[in-house]
Structure 1
Amino acid sequence: MPIDPQVIGTELPEFTVDVERGRLRFFAKAIGESNPVCADVDAAKAAGHRDLPVPPTFFFCLEMERPADHPSLVELLSIDIRHVLHGEQGFTYHAPVHAGDRLTFRTKITDVYSKKGGALEFVVRSTEVIRGGELVAELHNSLVVRNPEAAK
Structure 2
Amino acid sequence: MADRGLIGRELGTVRFPVERGKLAELARSFDAPEPLWSDREAAREAGFDDIPAPPTATVVADLWREHGALDGAIRLGLDTTNLLHGEASWQFFAPVRCGDELTARSSVVDVNERVGKRGGAMTLVAIETSYTNQHGEQVATRRDVVVEKGGNSSAR
In the other structure, the counterpart of 1:24 is 23
| CA distance in structure 2 between the partners assigned to 1:96 and 1:31 by the alignment | 19
Match status 1:122 vs 2:117:
no
Hey, what's the Cα distance between the residues in 2 that align with 1:106 and 1:147? 28
| TM-score of the two chains, using structure 1 as the length reference | 0.87
Q: 1:149 to 1:77 in 2, by over 3 A?
A: closer
Query: Quick one: which of 127, 134, 138 aligns to 2:137?
Result: 134
Instruction: Determine if the alignment matches structure 1 residue 73 to structure 2 residue 72.
Output: yes
Q: Could you say which structure has the higher helix fraction? A: 2
Whether the aligned pair in 2 keeps the contact of 1:111 and 1:125 (CA below 8 Å) is yes
- Cα deviation for residue 5 of structure 1 reads 1.4
Question: Which stretch shifts more, 13-22 or 35-44?
Answer: 35-44
Q: Distance in 2 between matches of 1:7 and 1:149?
A: 15
Amino acid of the structure 2 residue aligned with 1:37 = L
Gaps of 5+ in 1: none
The worse-fitting range, judged by mean Cα deviation, of 36-45 and 107-116 is 36-45
Post-superposition offset of 1:29: 0.4
The gaps in structure 2 that reach 5 residues or longer are none
Instruction: Report percent identity of matched pairs.
Output: 32
| TM-score of the aligned structures, taking structure 2 as reference length | 0.85
Superposed CA RMSD in Å reads 2.2
The size of the alignment, in residue pairs, is 148
Note if 1:103 corresponds to 2:102: yes
Residue-by-residue CA offset, 1:21-55 (whole Å, 9 max, x unaligned): 00000110011112631232210122333332110
SS across alignment from 1:138: strand
Deviations 1:59-99 (A, max 9, x none): 12x23123328982111111121111110110001111111
8 Å Cα contact 2:20-2:37 kept in structure 1: no
Q: Which stretch shows the higher mean deviation, 112-121 or 81-90?
A: 112-121
Aligned residue for 2:124, secondary structure, equals strand
